[in-house]
Amino acid sequence: MTEPPLHEDVAHLAFLLGTWTGEGEGVYPTTEPFRYGEEVRFFQAGKPFIAYTQRTWHLDDRRPLHAEMGYWRPDGRTGIELVLAHPTGIVEVEEGSLDGQTIETGSVVVGRSSTAKEVTRLERTIAVDGDVMRYGAAHGRRRATAPAAPDRAAGARRRLRGWPTGSVDGEIPVALLDRAPA
């Protein structure tokens, strides 16, 4: 089946489209920092949203780690919404802004199933520079005291240790992904 044309409402989000792969590092108070592999896919169906899947795996034995699926929805040209489901019993709605090819969002809703672990706040930053995507997420049990933000002065292929800078009292996975050839 041929792909339908991109909906005009998401034309300015076309820079996200594709499959991105790379590696990241997670920092969490209860574990040693760990490195992981990641694949992220942004795709479209001719509708006014961008569909999204993510999966990660341990680099030592390739065992699955975190995964998530959802939709990115434009709010005009500079606003953006994210609705997302996690296999860990968490659903979330994030809202934020788009500045060029940098997206920053924070949660406005976090829902948890009865067995889900306590997560009350999430923040994300995605910055695309050509075929390189820098990605960061932070979560915690309380509101972050500083926004997660990319180091805009950094070179596109710089490793992301220490980024984002948001101080959320949870894990802060950050990754550097390359767009896979079409």
For residue 72, state whether it binds ligand HEM (rule: CB under 6 A): no
Q: Of 56 and 105, which CB lies nearer to ligand HEM in the complex structure?
A: 56
Q: State whether residue 89 is helix, strand or coil.
A: coil
Q: Of 96 and 173, which CB lies nearer to ligand HEM in the complex structure?
A: 173
Number of alpha helices (DSSP H) and beta strands (DSSP E) in the chain? 0, 10
Q: Which residues of 24-47 are buried (b: 16+ CB within 10 A; e: fewer)?
A: bbbbeeeeeebebbbbbbbebeee
Is residue 74 reached through a cis peptide bond, with omega within 30 degrees of 0 on the bond before it?
Answer: no
Number of other CB atoms surrounding residue 146 within 10 Å: 12
Q: Of 56 and 125, which CB lies nearer to ligand HEM in the complex structure?
A: 56
Among 56, 105, 125, 126, binds ligand HEM (CB under 6 A): 56
Q: Please tell me the count of residues contacting ligand HEM according to CB under 6 A.
A: 20
Pick the piece of the chain touching ligand HEM (CB under 6 A) from 32-40, 70-78, 93-101, 159-167: 32-40
Residues that bind ligand HEM (CB under 6 A): 24, 26, 28, 30-31, 34, 36, 38, 56, 65-66, 86, 90, 117, 119, 122, 137, 139, 171, 173
